[in-house]
């Protein structure tokens, strides 16, 4: 059987490789981006982000929406805060959470559109 995905030489298009290498970001940016996408890899965090995309909510309200414990929501919010995906404001003793900025909403909306739009056939050659 012939392996079609394997190159027999190291580089076919040197100019293209050099252009991409120049544009490629560093390890720190790669790690941060991987952490961002890792955060979106948890269904509870995805539900929290969607809820906060809809409106500002406190932990109790998020618990009621998502159907998990207060401690589970608080833990996930801590993760999302660390990654700068959500922010909070205090009103008396209650913390109200919202998305950190419009980048998060756009990223989430595009991801949601990607997974909910009708599937197109993959290009096969």
**pLDDT confidence bin for 82, thresholds 50/70/90:** very high
What is the CATH code of the structural domain delimited by 26-116?
Answer: 1.10.10.10
Question: pTM higher than 0.85, yes or no?
Answer: no
Nearest in space to 100 (alpha carbons), one of 41, 44, 36: 36
Per-residue pLDDT tens over the stretch 35-72: 888 888 999 999 999 999 999 999 999 999 999 999 99
Nearest in space to 77 (alpha carbons), one of 88, 90, 91: 88
> For residues 48 and 77, is the Cβ–Cβ distance under 8 A?
yes
Of residues 12 and 60, more confidence is placed in 60
Q: Give me the pLDDT at residue 14, please.
A: 87
Pairwise CA distance, residues 73 & 57, whole Å: 12
Pairwise CA distance, residues 48 & 105, whole Å: 12
Among 64-68, 96-100, 103-107, which is the least confidently predicted range?
A: 103-107
């Amino acid at each position: 059987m012939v392996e079609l995905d394997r190159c027999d030489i190291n580089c076919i298009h040197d100019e293209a490789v050099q252009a991409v290498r120049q544009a490629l970001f560093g390890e720190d940016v790669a790690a941060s981006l991987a952490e961002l996408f890792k955060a979106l890899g948890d269904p509870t965090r995805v539900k929290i982000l969607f809820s906060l995309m809809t409106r500002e909510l406190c932990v109790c309200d998020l618990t009621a929406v998502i159907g998990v414990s207060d401690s589970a929501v608080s833990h996930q919010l801590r993760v999302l805060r660390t990654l700068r995906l959500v922010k909070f404001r205090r009103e008396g003793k209650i913390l109200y959470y919202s998305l950190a900025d419009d980048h998060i909403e756009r990223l989430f909306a595009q991801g949601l559109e990607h997974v909910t739009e009708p599937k197109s056939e993959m290009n096969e050659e």
